[in-house]
Amino acid sequence: MPEGQIVRAVSGFFYVRTPEGDVRCRARGVFKKKKWSPLVGDRVTFEETEPGEGWVTDLHPRTTELVRPPVANVDQAVVVASLREPALQPELLDRFLVHAEREKLDVVICLTKMDLLEDESELDSVLDIYTKVDYPVLTTSVYTGEGIEALKAALKDRLSVFAGQSGVGKSSLLNAVLPSLGLKTGEVSKKLGRGRHTTRQVEILDLPDGGQVADTPGFSQLSFGNMEETEMGECFPEIAYFSPGCKFRGCLHKNEPRCAVKAAVEQGEISESRYRHYLSFLEEISDQRRY
């Protein structure tokens, strides 16, 4: 039977991409019985009933599975943030990074709207924090073209998903790497300091230089309600690196004695702001458990 990749899902139909073109399919009833749900990004086997129409008969094993946005087999998260309009929110940036780390995605941080930045020291402080954790950081501007070729190179041969607060320029970046796309973009509200979501459904886009991007409405679930406190440290690479040196197994790096992580913070080997966000996220998980 033929195979392909689901690239779009609309009103119960799954559009399966093959070398010969897209086939519009429905899913067999067996999926409901097994409580399976095909996702955009799934590799599937299908049965073609007539030209351009068919039924999905089997799902191939997934490498990753995101819930919000619902997309399968993503390799990489491009976490997008702007330093201006809207201003950078480091706590929110780290929140996105935690969710990407938990899903075992490779991460690229993409800073946008560099043409609006007047003080280079602000950029230097961000680079100092995140390059120390070995996150690749790209600086971009869709108006000057800065960093667009580097972004294309980072997307090559990967299935990537863009994550970031509304208004930071995710759709504008996609338009820059795939000009024929013509995605709608939303202006940033001067009053609220944020943009409007402009993407309404998940769709996989093929890039001309190779690779794919899952255009999504964004990560709409950013709480930690389904996480345990002991998981959080694994989602901060620098904390995971130092934690084996702690005296106690299961150390949460809060008030425990002989904590290697707290020592690394005091010695400047772990960013104080990243550590504060880690503690804040732990407290959020604890509060959620109470209610």
CATH number at residue 19: 2.40.50.140
Find, among 170, 160, 178, the residue nearest to 77 by Cα: 160
On whether both 56 and 70 belong to a single domain, the answer is: no
Q: Which residues are annotated as a binding site?
A: 112-115, 164-172, 246, 251, 253, 259
Q: Residue holding tokens 């890039």?
A: 207
At 90, give phi and psi (nearest 5°). Answer: -60, -35
Write out residues in the chain with pLDDT < 70, as ranges.
30, 32-35, 181-200, 217-221, 290-291
Q: Which residues are annotated as a binding site for GTP?
A: 112-115, 164-172
Per-residue pLDDT, 221: 59
On whether both 50 and 128 belong to a single domain, the answer is: no
Task: Give the CATH number for residue 253.
Answer: 1.10.40.50
Per-residue pLDDT, 196: 42
On whether both 108 and 235 belong to a single domain, the answer is: no
On whether both 247 and 286 belong to a single domain, the answer is: yes
In a domain, 223, yes or no: no
Per-residue pLDDT, 100: 93
On whether both 45 and 172 belong to a single domain, the answer is: no
Find, among 216, 245, 238, 204, the residue nearest to 42 by Cα: 204
Could you give the 3-state DSSP secondary structure of residue 141? Answer: coil
Count of the separate structural domains present in the chain: 3
CB 108 within 8 A of CB 131: no
Q: Which residues are annotated as a binding site for Zn(2+)?
A: 246, 251, 253, 259
| Domain endpoint, select from 22, 42, 60 | 60
| Domain endpoint, select from 148, 180, 215 | 215
In a domain, 172, yes or no: yes
On whether both 73 and 159 belong to a single domain, the answer is: yes
In a domain, 47, yes or no: yes
Range of the domain at 39: 3-60
On whether both 15 and 79 belong to a single domain, the answer is: no
Q: Let me know how long the chain is.
A: 291
CB 44 within 8 A of CB 56: yes
On whether both 11 and 34 belong to a single domain, the answer is: yes
Task: Give the CATH number for residue 156.
Answer: 3.40.50.300
On whether both 143 and 205 belong to a single domain, the answer is: yes
CB 28 within 8 A of CB 182: no
C-alpha 68: how far from its chain's center? 10
In a domain, 205, yes or no: yes
Per-residue pLDDT, 189: 33
On whether both 83 and 150 belong to a single domain, the answer is: yes
